[in-house]
Chains A and B, each alone.
Chain A
Amino acid sequence: MTAETVPRGSAGDAGFRLLAEHLPDIIILAFDNQLDIWAATGTALRARGWTAGQFLGRKVPEVGRPDDAAVTEASCRAALRGEIRRFETHGNLEPSRLWAMQFVPLPGERDAIVGGMVLARDITDHRRAERQLQASRHQLAEAQRIAQVGSWEWDVLFDEVTVSDELCRIIGLPLGSSWTMADGIRRLIPEAEVEQVERLVERMRTDPTPYAYEHRMVSSDGTTRTFLARGEGMVDEQGRVVRFIGTDQDITERRRAEDERRRLLNRVYEAQEGQDRRLAADLHDGHVQSLAAIGFKLEQARLRLGASGSPEADELLWQVSKDLSAEVTSLRRTIGRLRPLVLVEDGLEAALREEAKSACNRAALVACEVTSELDGRLDPVVETALFRVAQQALANVVDHAAATRALVAIECAGGSVVLRVSDDGRGFDPGHVRVVGDIAHFGLIAMRERVEALGGRFRVTTAPGEGTVVEARLPLTDPAERPGT
């Protein structure tokens, strides 16, 4: 590429030619002490179909926007004094374009200033990209603020963690904070969780697999907040983890709301169980005793009539006694459902055996086996919850499954107790049990809520023709730490 010049043979010719050939989107004008343009070149000049002839021989302030003539002349003169001046302006021929104008001195032999150069760079696209980047950053910051999500980046090789402004705000750190990973853990992670977090970090050094991890951080004001961290590593050509990027979402309020919901649900269940207990006691101490007494009186009347009574009267009294006995049995069953005595007296396993036996009597089940790994009694609240889930699950087996075999299993694993009720029945398509009425009908919501209220997990595995497995997993925690206490 060669610059077009008015014959001059100036000393700066080679310099601006070099610039012109290597810088994109640029126009270079060289001017003398009289501000006359003696050279004009640049990729931007040709890209626009302009010719050097449009510039050569004219004074610099004349080729720009008339409004800029004064500042252009002042900048040229400053360059002639050895100074560098810059300003931005819109194009004269294309006002939609934005130009960055730079005025620099042009030294001649023995470094004497013989003129100046104007380096005009079209920065329209650059500025647009900058604005878009700025807008994206703003949107990201706004999204992080709304979602209470902060982002972070860990340069594994240099062990430097940088965090977003939002994360700084959430945990009360100065904006632009950065630290080493060990320092960050020491400053932010509660002591009880340090070991666990350090294990995760150790894994991150070699394993870039995406992860999600819930942890707590201590804010600068001393409050502890709960975060859901997600991260993913990046590796170099050798497969080394060089960087991790991720987010930390503040889920403190969500966790609080969930805890509160669980607490309230537990209180509802406690109230419900209490009401059931009182009703069962009333029925047991009052109605069952009275009906039994009436039965004894009827039998006494039968005996008193004896041989002197008519066979019809005797038959009638016998029938009434029998009906009464059936009613008492039914009432006792109701009491058993309201307050399963065997659960209170003998624990979960015994209660489940009773329930399994009852299920066999009520359905076409050939067998309903109960297996248990329990050694001793559980927290009564946990026992009651698992029993109620099993009761509902077995009711579903009886009413809907058309199963021949069922299994109720209790296992203890990893600090949890797991109840599993499985059957070989018709199963169902979980996708078709979306109607609220259906779900309520199967008691699925009630079972799930009961389990989740105690911080447990509930799962149903089923498919048409494949039987059903209902699984409830509850943590074996200290009753004092239970939600709702």
Chain B
Amino acid sequence: MNRPRLLVVDDHEMLRKALVDLLVQAGFEVVGEGADGADAVAMAKQLEPDVVLMDLRMPVLGGLDATRLIKDACPATQVVLLTAFDSPALQQQAEEAGCFAYLVKGGAPGDLRLTLHQAMACRRSLLPPAGSPPVDA
């Protein structure tokens, strides 16, 4: 099985680097890094990662708007929001925007890895089997 391909987007550089290092150590493939929502949308379209792991509050374009655009462009790509805001209201908005999960920074690191694997599994279930013709063919 291929390693899960991740796009990591967070405007806090130190945190993003630590996160990337951890994920690589944990066996994920980080295909790209971004610092804002606009980066996230552009790179998701270009790299088609399995999962976008993204912050909520970012400059240029926030995580919720970026999620909507990513889900429009790449429906199978799963978006996991990782934010410092622990708010049920925001959690609800994230769900409505099409996020796979809403995680709070500072939570148990094991939860992060587990969620990413679940998102990966969900992504695979949405993709057509290998060798099947394109849907719009």
Kindly state the separation between the CA atoms of A476 and B25 in the bound complex, as whole angstroms.
57
Check if A296 sits within 8 Å of B22, measured CB to CB. Answer: yes
Q: Which residues of B contact A331 (CB under 8 A)?
A: 106
Stretch of A227-235, A256-264, A284-292, A437-445 at the chain-chain interface? A284-292
Q: Which residues of B contact A292 (CB under 8 A)?
A: 15, 84, 105-106
Which partner residue on chain B sits nearest A286 by CB separation? B12
Tell me the A residues contacting B by CB distance below 8 Å. 284-285, 288-300, 303-304, 321-322, 324-325, 327-329, 331-332, 335-336, 341-342, 345-346, 350, 354
Tell me the B residues contacting A by CB distance below 8 Å. 12, 14-15, 17-19, 21-22, 25-26, 84-90, 104-109
Kindly state the separation between the CA atoms of A325 and B26 in the bound complex, as whole angstroms.
19
A296 to chain B, nearest CB (A): 4
**Chain A interface, DSSP helix/strand/loop, else mixed:** helix
Given the known inter-chain contacts A325-B106, A328-B105, A328-B106, please indicate yes or no for A342 contacting B14, CB distance below 8 A.
no
Q: Which 9 A-B pairs have the closest CB atoms?
A: A328-B106, A299-B109, A296-B18, A292-B105, A293-B15, A293-B18, A289-B12, A346-B89, A300-B22
Kindly state the separation between the CA atoms of A328 and B84 in the bound complex, as whole angstroms.
9
Check if A284 sits within 8 Å of B84, measured CB to CB. Answer: yes
Kindly state the separation between the CA atoms of A285 and B57 in the bound complex, as whole angstroms.
10
Q: Which residues of A contact B106 (CB under 8 A)?
A: 288, 291-292, 295, 324-325, 327-329, 331-332
Q: Which residues of A contact B12 (CB under 8 A)?
A: 285, 289, 293
Check if B105 sits within 8 Å of A288, measured CB to CB. Answer: yes
Check if B109 sits within 8 Å of A342, measured CB to CB. Answer: no
Q: Which residues of B contact A336 (CB under 8 A)?
A: 86
Kindly state the separation between the CA atoms of A171 and B90 in the bound complex, as whole angstroms.
59
Pick 29 A–B contacts, CB within 8 A, sort by A. Answer: A285-B12, A289-B15, A290-B14, A291-B106, A292-B15, A292-B84, A293-B14, A293-B17, A293-B18, A293-B19, A295-B109, A296-B15, A296-B18, A296-B21, A296-B22, A297-B22, A298-B109, A299-B109, A303-B25, A321-B108, A325-B106, A325-B108, A327-B106, A328-B106, A335-B84, A341-B85, A341-B90, A345-B89, A346-B89
